[in-house]
Amino acid sequence: MREITIGQYYPAESVIHRLDPRVKLVGTLVYIISLFLFKSFSCYFVVAAFLFTVILLSKVPLGYILRGLKTIIFLLLFMSMFNLFFTPGDVVYWKGGPFQITDAGIRNAGFMALRLILLIIGSSLMTFTTTPNQLTDGLESLLKPFKKLGLPVHEVAMMMSIALRFIPILMEETNKIMMAQMARGASFDEGNLIQKAKSLVPLLVPLFVSAFRRADDLAMAMEARCYHGGEGRTKMKPLRYQSRDYIAYVVMLLYLATVIFTGKVLYL
Amino acid sequence: MIGHTGSGKSTLIQHLNGLLHATAGDILYDGESIYAEGYSLRKLRSQVGLVFQYPEHQLFEATVLDDVMFGPKNLGLSVEEQKERAITALGQVGIEESLFDASPFELSGGQKRRVAIAGVLAMQPKVLILDEPTAGLDPQGKKEILGEIAKLQKEQQITVVFVTHCMEDVAEYADLILVMNHGKVAFYDTPARVFAHKEELKDLGLDVPQVTLVMQELHEIGLPVSADVITLKQAKDQILRVFAANASSRDEEVACDA
Amino acid sequence: MKNPMIQVKNLIYDYLISKNEDEEPERHRAIDDVTLTVETGDFIAILGHNGSGKSTFAKQINVLLKPTSGTLIVGGMDTADEKNLLPIRQTAGMVFQNPDNQIIATIVEEDVGFGPENIGVPTDEIWKRVEKSLSSVGMLHYRKHSPNRLSGGQKQRVAIAGVMAMKPDCIVLDEPTAMLDPAGRKDVIATVRELNEKENVTVILITHYMDEVVFADKVFVMDAGRIALQGTPREVFSQVEKLKEIGLDVPQVTELAHELKEEGLPLPDGILTPEEFREEIEKLWQSSAEMSPTSILKEADLKSRLSIRSI
């Protein structure tokens, strides 16, 4: 359970850490769009090269990032299998009942897995290098136009950052409760699906109770420190674009252009 | 069991009922390796009951009685037996019958903790391990819980292992102290002998009971008191004895002079 | 003449428990007619068992709760007045029991900056305050760390820094050491004492650990919502029987001295620390050696001499 690294901040001194959170948010968006725009392997090569460069610059260890993938390995396998066995195609390598393996299937499965891996790594890189507070500030600033429409932008951003802060605490708690119920003879990996679902009750009730208790405590602690929403609030780390941020935007455009070029012009 | 935070106490006790599997080495329960093939961990967990820190945070059933029945239910006992064991266990921790149908979430902090301990006792373990059973309780609640545990140990012949930071509790209740430091056993001996290593304990970030400290100091400055005092009662007896002896020896001198 | 930090007059607080939605909610009195004054710069300890009303009282000071009746004035401001809310919370900061549930940010320095941000302190000033308050609790070295990796005692010190960054006149600590190990407890108490002595911050420490209140200027003992005992630690701890009746302990040496005194040994009341105890016994031992050869246990003359000397 301690292995869960998705959504957590990894403290380090790097260019990527120092970038303005708005740049990183926009960058992540651009990156995700680039992932879904194209369907050729060579494009993904460009994407992967770009991602790898950013990871190197960020000083977040590759092993640490890959550990985050462990948690989605089932999703990954499931989706790849689905694509592998159910995609119709021109060349059929194997057929058995409703299942078949075709050239398109292999291609799709490969794409799907690759895309998902790149997606997870890319977006978790943003949370690894941006503290939830910065993330909140960045989101708040980017969403500012919606404030006029009555959207509680600051509050939504604050909720997000608190949720991220409590992920590891609740994970540890889940682990502890599980151990305690196991000490009372419970088991979480036996029986059929219904029995398994039932065995979750002793886990979920205490977890919810604890989450509410923590929420209550935290709300009180925030109030005690004069929190009263976004109004009249100043920032310890106000967002100001530096020259490196403008350069990052240019790099982003160049990246997008390269991907489009390899995909649409070179037809690779 | 004592030791500063991160000394490995909690990790060690989670090995004792097989929740964690040792990287190397073996654990024998009743002479049998718990890592042997086919050894039933579920049976081990019913014999070696483990009460976690803040156990009241793990209550989940709608009523106190149902919650305590959870352990026996997992052992596959009949409903009557589950109930019988739950009622016995609740009695052992001093929960009144009027509370059996209450929701565990309505109880006071001390009551909740006792219900949670009953939840483990209902499996009728031969060994009871408690990770800081008194954490967060006030002095009154603390005394009650420790008193009940001590009673179980004496009357039901249950072996008790408890983790604590309070040296006064160790002195009062424990036959043996296990001091952990950096994942190793630093001391494993009677309280009096362990507390004699005042300086080494200090280096480990641990204290000795206040009475032990003052008696050691009085011993050092030459008072004829013994240095291995660990409880208040012993200290009181010792001090009274030396003053009485001193007084009577002077009285004797007077008598001789006369 | 300076104004007192906190003035409480006939404070009553009831909370309502409704078990059924149709039933009339039940009134439960948590604070029952409390009157007290806390002087600026004092170190105050409030003792009491769980449910004695001490935490409820702490929350009143920070206006997390408001009195049912009576008045509570913090730094000259009435807590009943809505417009005083933020100024009072800034004047009297609060530190809570659970170190995990009061840290908002994922980096130590950002958490310390949270309070000043809320009260609209300019950016440059926030940085100065964060640095100063982190160094005043000895945690400056950890400013870039994630709170999740700190020990309980360190987290509490960060929480204290978070309050200090709002430049309060007073800090209320609601059982800040209840979830810590002995080393963490010592660190937190040492930090609080230093803030009180060096920065002249008024401290209100709520606890049930007796050894933590030995240094306080004044101790209030709460029981069933009322103040059962008050005075200097020595005065309060002299009343061993009364404290036990309320369900509280006294430091072990205090109890030992009390019991020896009951047996007739002429020791002064309210011995608080092992050092004091050792000194008193040593004195007694020496004088018993010098004394005229009569049992000192019966020596009334010595008794009075000793008690005069020790006060």
Q: Report CB contact under 8 Å: C265, B110.
A: no
Residue B240: which of C253, C260, C294 has the nearest Cβ?
A: C260
Residue B42: which of A179, A185, A206 has the nearest Cβ?
A: A185
Residue C162: which of A169, A225, A235 has the nearest Cβ?
A: A225
User: Which chain C residues are closer than 8 Å to B243 by Cβ?
Assistant: 265, 284-285, 288, 296-297
Q: Are C26 and C19 in contact (CB under 8 A)?
A: yes
Q: Distance between CA A235 and CA C121 in Å, rounded?
A: 8
Chains contacting chain B through 3 or more C-beta pairs under 8 A: A, C
User: If you search the block for the tokens 């006149």, which residue do you land on?
Assistant: C169
Instruction: Give the pLDDT of residue C304.
Output: 44
pLDDT in tens, A143-201: 888 888 888 888 888 888 788 778 888 888 899 999 999 999 888 777 777 877 788 88
Output the average pLDDT for chain A.
84
How far is CA C162 from each of CA A129, A219, C104, C181, rounded to the nearest angstrom?
Answer: 24, 15, 10, 22
Interface test with C, best of B5, B231, B254 (most C CBs within 10 A): B5
Buried-exposed string C87-96: b where 16+ CB fall within 10 A, e elsewhere: bbbbbbbbbb
Residue A70: how many CA atoms within 13 Å on its side-chain side?
A: 11
Q: Which residue of A has its CA nearest to B68?
A: A184
SS3 (DSSP) at C177: coil
Arch. (CATH architecture) of B9-190? 3-Layer(aba) Sandwich (3.40)
Q: In chain C, list all ranges with CATH 3.40.50.300.
A: 40-66+78-248
The residues of chain A scoring below 50 in pLDDT are: 1-2
Residue C22 main-chain phi, psi, to 5 deg: -80, -30
Q: Tell whether the model's pLDDT for residue C109 goes beyond 50.
A: yes
Scanning chain C, the segments in alpha helix (DSSP H) are: 54-61, 85-91, 108-118, 123-136, 152-164, 182-198, 233-237, 240-246, 252-262, 274-290, 300-310
Residue A184: which of B14, B71, B105 has the nearest Cβ?
A: B71
Q: Tell whether the model's pLDDT for residue C288 goes beyond 80.
A: no
C4: which residues sit within 8 A by CB, 6+ positions away? C37, C38, C39, C40
Among the residue ranges A115-119, B219-223, C127-131, C298-302, the one predicted with the least confidence is C298-302
Tokens of B183: 């994942």
Chains contacting chain A through 3 or more C-beta pairs under 8 A: B, C
Across the B/C interface, how many CB contacts are shorter than 8 Å? 111
CA distance to partner chain A, nearest, from residue C143 (Å): 11
What is the rounded radius of gyration, in angstroms, for the C-alpha atoms of chain C? Answer: 22
Instruction: Give the pLDDT of residue B242.
Output: 87
B199: which residues sit within 8 A by CB, 6+ positions away? none
Chains contacting chain C through 3 or more C-beta pairs under 8 A: A, B
Residue A185: which of B55, B58, B74 has the nearest Cβ?
A: B74
Q: Which residue of A has its CA nearest to C87?
A: A226
Q: Report CB contact under 8 Å: B60, A206.
A: yes
SS3 (DSSP) at A27: helix
Q: Report CB contact under 8 Å: C184, B5.
A: yes
Closest to B52 in 3D by CA, of B19, B95, B89: B19
Residue A41 main-chain phi, psi, to 5 deg: -65, -35
The size of chain C, in residues, is 311
Interface test with B, best of C213, C284, C285, C288 (most B CBs within 10 A): C285
Domain ranges of chain A: 1-130+240-268
Is any Cβ of chain B less than 8 angstroms from the Cβ of A230? no
Closest to B122 in 3D by CA, of B66, B167, B189: B66
Q: Report CB contact under 8 Å: A221, C104.
A: yes
One-letter amino acid at C237 equals F
pTM: 0.84
Is any Cβ of chain B less than 8 angstroms from the Cβ of C263? yes
User: Which chain A residues are closer than 8 Å to C86 by Cβ?
Assistant: 226, 228
Q: Distance between CA C42 and CA C5 in Å, rounded?
A: 9
Q: Distance between CA C290 and CA B246 in Å, rounded?
A: 11
Q: Distance between CA A219 and CA A237 in Å, rounded?
A: 23
Scanning chain A, the segments in alpha helix (DSSP H) are: 15-18, 21-37, 41-58, 62-67, 73-86, 103-129, 132-147, 153-183, 193-199, 201-224, 243-260
Is any Cβ of chain B less than 8 angstroms from the Cβ of C190? no
pLDDT in tens, C40-76: 999 999 999 888 999 999 999 999 999 999 999 999 9
Q: Is this complex scored with an ipTM above 0.90?
A: no
CA distance to partner chain A, nearest, from residue B64 (Å): 14
Scanning chain B, the segments in alpha helix (DSSP H) are: 9-16, 41-47, 64-74, 79-92, 109-121, 139-155, 167-173, 191-195, 198-203, 210-220, 232-257
pLDDT in tens, C153-166: 999 999 999 999 99
Q: Tell whether the model's pLDDT for residue C303 goes beyond 60.
A: no
Instruction: Give the pLDDT of residue C311.
Output: 37
Q: Distance between CA A226 and CA A133 in Å, rounded?
A: 17
Residue B139: which of C152, C184, C248 has the nearest Cβ?
A: C248
Is any Cβ of chain A less than 8 angstroms from the Cβ of B16? no
Q: Report CB contact under 8 Å: C252, B209.
A: yes
- Torsion on CA atoms B68, B74, B77, B78, rounded to nearest 10: 70
User: Which chain A residues are closer than 8 Å to C103 by Cβ?
Assistant: 165
Instruction: Give the pLDDT of residue B252.
Output: 58
pLDDT in tens, B82-132: 999 999 999 999 999 999 999 998 898 889 999 999 999 999 999 999 999
Q: Report CB contact under 8 Å: A206, B52.
A: no
Is the domain defined by C40-66+78-248 classed in CATH 3.40.50.300?
yes
Q: Distance between CA B47 and CA B158 in Å, rounded?
A: 10
Instruction: Give the pLDDT of residue A83.
Output: 82
The string of DSSP codes covering C199-253 is S--EEEEEES-GGGSTT-SEEEEEETTEEEEEE-HHHHHT-HHHHHHHT----HH
Interface test with B, best of C97, C278, C288, C302 (most B CBs within 10 A): C278
The DSSP call for residue C74 is E
Domain ranges of chain B: 9-190, 209-258
Tokens of A105: 């299937």
Q: Is A89 exposed, middle or buried (0-12, 13-18, 19+ CB in 10 A)?
A: middle
Is any Cβ of chain A less than 8 angstroms from the Cβ of C106? yes
User: Which chain C residues are closer than 8 Å to B211 by Cβ?
Assistant: 252-253, 256
Instruction: Give the pLDDT of residue B52.
Output: 94
Q: Report CB contact under 8 Å: C256, B236.
A: yes
Closest to B61 in 3D by CA, of B133, B119, B15: B119
Output the average pLDDT for chain C.
88
CA distance to partner chain C, nearest, from residue A140 (Å): 15
CA-based angle B173:B174:B178, to the nearest 5? Answer: 150
* Pairing state between β B177-181 and B184-189: antiparallel
The residues of chain B scoring below 50 in pLDDT are: 258
Residue A218: which of C62, C101, C121 has the nearest Cβ?
A: C101
